[in-house]
Structure 1
């Protein structure tokens, strides 16, 4: 059993990672982080990604929840669904961008594929809106 999340060091990615860690601890399961090719595109992204994972690993210390990394490809939806199947996941967590009213009619293609193909429930989270926005 596990909670599965993909991580990219963006506000949406950090919110997904934090929410997934919270859920994994709450459920007493491992946290599986799928490392996408996009998160490794530049040295700056690699450093930010590693910083985010270290922060979450420190938060998980002493909880009994282990963070495991899985290398992904360029197909985020397939990577998340595959990791969920391999680990008998209880939950997949995805981060969504805030969209305009018109944009809300169209869900991103990765999010849509994950929702349709997931073998378990999917939790979609958004980063907190900055004050005054």
Structure 2
């Protein structure tokens, strides 16, 4: 069984990470932790470094419980929601865990919602986590 967690170091994505660890421990699942870099190849070095640090935290978080974990820093130039759905399809993921950050209506209209995209387009069940 394979779980996918969208992780960007935020508080809500840490909540998704924690829930995924609990489920992975219960079901004996492998966990794939993904950070999607919106800027693709033109992403700034400091953002790439922060994402790498965040993924190292996630990897250690799962190792504490001896849960198999792979981390992936994607820079394919897609919106994070689209990137996660495509990654899930490419890797035969069984379940996705994603944090939902609150946005104003204007932000949703202009930026869209990555979580909404994932929930509607994912090839598998999606567990959404709100801000703790």
- Residue 15, structure 1, aligned to residue 53, structure 2: no
CA contact under 8 A between 1:14 and 1:52: conserved in structure 2?
no
- The residue correspondences of 1:66-77 to structure 2 (distance < 5 A) are 66-73=69-76, 74-77=78-81
Aligned residue in 1 for 2:58: 56
Cα distance in structure 1, aligned partners of 2:52 and 2:86:
23
Aligned residue in 2 for 1:125: 129
Aligned residue in 2 for 1:131: none
- After superposition, the C-alpha distances for 1:78-110 in whole angstroms (9 at most, x for unaligned) are 21111211222121111112467xx5xx79532
Normalised to the residue count of structure 1, the TM-score between the two structures is: 0.71
The RMSD of aligned alpha carbons is 2.8
Q: 2:82 aligns with which of 72, 78, 83?
A: 78
**Structure 1: which 5+ runs fail to align?**
129-133
**Structure 2: which 5+ runs fail to align?**
none
Deviation at 1:60, TM superposition (A): 2.1
User: Which 4+ runs in 1 deviate beyond 4 A?
Assistant: 38-42, 45-48
SS in 1 for 2:124: coil
Normalised to the residue count of structure 2, the TM-score between the two structures is: 0.71
